[in-house]
Structure 1
């Protein structure tokens, strides 16, 4: 017989050994929010779950269970095969530790594949995330990358992370680049998924003294940064990166690659078009239609993004350090040089560049 495992026990296990979490809910449920790092091996696909759920409500639980058994029995070979590929301890879960995870764990046990079941399901994990955020406690101080759009802040964060520095990348967790065009080519997170990823990173970095973040707005796409994190970001040491316009345009085009979805960039521009002086807006529109993205970007920077950024950041709460750089590499090196000169140290990391 399989065993249940509580969430605290599971989190402790994940800290001490490789452990695979398997979400057996439908793909749509998994996409809407899961425990970070989990994989999805569903008992029902989205349509099957809807069918069984409708039967449960309209006919009764016995009929729903019978239909669910009929559907699942046909999938058993593929279901078992997927689990046999996992070579670590396994924990399965569904929404509240109910029928689906019980069925999965029971079938696996019969096939001599040992798995625990998360007591309370993902609902218990959601309560944990809410409780952590409600405590509004996070010790590390923030080192904030600020600057006009296109100054390579995201690229610098990535380079810092790749070199072992602690980074809290809000845009990556939100799956959104933070502008009106920021969702294009991505699948933006909802608030639950964002908060789960945020708490995972907070727990991972809670013993750090300093963490790098980007100077984001409170809202990023569909998600909102919690107040206590946003306020900590506002009070942090602010690196204001300045870079030539042509380099900024190059960074933006490298990041967004508008030629891959030209029609979506035109659609997004329509949303902000009325906020730009009419002759300039018409000019930008023409450039976008012609796929002259370089010229369109220059105009968007000078007539939309730069003025909005200047207004939004005119009153920094934290200390401000100007970083004049030619490119991302230059900015990265100057930021680390400043921190080294100031004697700021990172846990298990010697400042190097």
Structure 2
């Protein structure tokens, strides 16, 4: 018989051995939010779930259960085969530990495949995430990388992480670069998935003396930073990186590659167009339409992004910020390593 396990028991199990979490909800539900690291082996497709749900609401619970059984019985061989491919211990879950995970666990048990079933489903995991964030506890000091748009802050964080430094990649977790063009080429996260990823990072680095992150506003794309983390970031040690304009244009072109989706890039620009001096805005619009991206980006930086950034520098006291002038992000990396050391030193 399958075993019902609580969330903490699941965490303990994951810490002891290689373990596979299986979300048996529909692909749409899985995409919207799941427990990090889970795989999706759905009982119903998106359309089938909608059909069963409609029967439940408009006809009866029994009618919905009957139709659900009819649908599921036809796909049982493939469903069971999917679990046979997994060579670790397993736990299945649905939204609140209800009918779908119970059905999956029961059928698998009848076929001699042992799985656990998560009590409370993903809803119990979501409550735990909210609890962890509600504690407002993140002990490490924060080193915050700032700079004009195009300074390569994300690339610097990636390199630091690759070399073993603790990094909190807020843009990566949000699936957004934080600007009006930030969604291009990315899959923006929703708040639930962002919170889950954030909690994983907080727990991973809780005992580190410091963590590196990037200067971000409270909103990043579709998600919001929790107040305690935003305030901690604002109180952290701010590293301001200054790169030449031409180098920044190259970095932006390499990162955004506007030629791969010119219409989306142009649409995004027209949202902020009214905030730019009319002659300049017209020239940027023309450059984007003619795919003269280096000139368009240069004008955007000079007349839109840079003035906003210059205002932000003055918000921090001198003893909490460090300004570095470099010609390339590799040079910035070397300078950052001179300041960011174990143990923490901001002197």
TM-score (normalizing by structure 2): 0.96
Give 1:332's aligned residue: 333
Partner of 2:61: 61
- Alpha-carbon separation, structure 2, partners of 1:304 and 1:199: 34
Cα distance in 2 between the residues matched to 1:183 and 1:255: 12
The number of equivalent residue pairs is 344
SS at match of 1:185: coil
SS of the aligned residue for 2:239 comes to strand
Q: Deviations over 1:32-79 (max 9, x none)?
A: 111111111111111110000000011111110111111111111221
Match of 1:316 in 2: 316
Which ranges of structure 1 fall in alignment gaps of 5 or more residues? 346-353
Distance in 1 (alpha carbons) for counterparts of 2:81 and 2:331? 50
State the SS of the aligned residue for 2:13. helix
In the aligned structure 1, how far is the partner of 2:293 from the partner of 2:82?
45
Q: Secondary structure at the match of 2:212?
A: strand
Instruction: Give the equivalent residue in structure 1 for 2:152.
Output: 152
Shift of 1:108: 1.4
> How much does 1:343 deviate?
5.2
Aligned residue number for residue 10 of structure 1: 10
Q: Report the more deviating stretch, 160-169 or 321-330.
A: 321-330
Aligned to 2:163: 163
The aligned counterpart of 1:286 is 286
- Per the alignment, residue 254 of structure 1 pairs with 254
CA shift at 1:146, angstroms?
Answer: 0.5
Q: Which moved more, 1:5-14 or 1:166-175?
A: 5-14
Query: Do residues 31 (structure 1) and 21 (structure 2) align?
Result: no
Displacement, 1:112? 1.8
* 1:240 corresponding residue in structure 2: 240
TM-superposed CA distance for 1:310, in Å, is: 1.6
Residues 1-353 of structure 1 mapped to structure 2, 5 A cutoff: 1-316=1-316, 319-340=320-341, 344=344
Secondary structure of the residue that 1:181 maps to in structure 2?
Answer: coil
CA distance, structure 1, for counterparts of residue 29 and residue 343 of structure 2: 47
Deviations 1:219-253 (A, max 9, x none): 00010100100111111111101101111111111
Q: How far 1:314 sits from its partner (Å)?
A: 2.0
Root-mean-square deviation (Å): 1.3
Structure 1 residue 83: Cα displacement = 1.4
Judge conservation of contact 2:209–2:343 (CA < 8 Å) in 1.
Answer: no
Residues of 2 paired with 1:343 and 1:194: CA distance? 29
1:14 match: secondary structure? helix
**For the Cα contact (< 8 Å) 2:97–2:120, is it kept in 1?**
yes
More displaced stretch, 265-274 vs 108-117: 108-117
Relative to the length of structure 1, the TM-score reads: 0.95
Cα contact 2:166–2:212 (8 A) shared by 1: yes
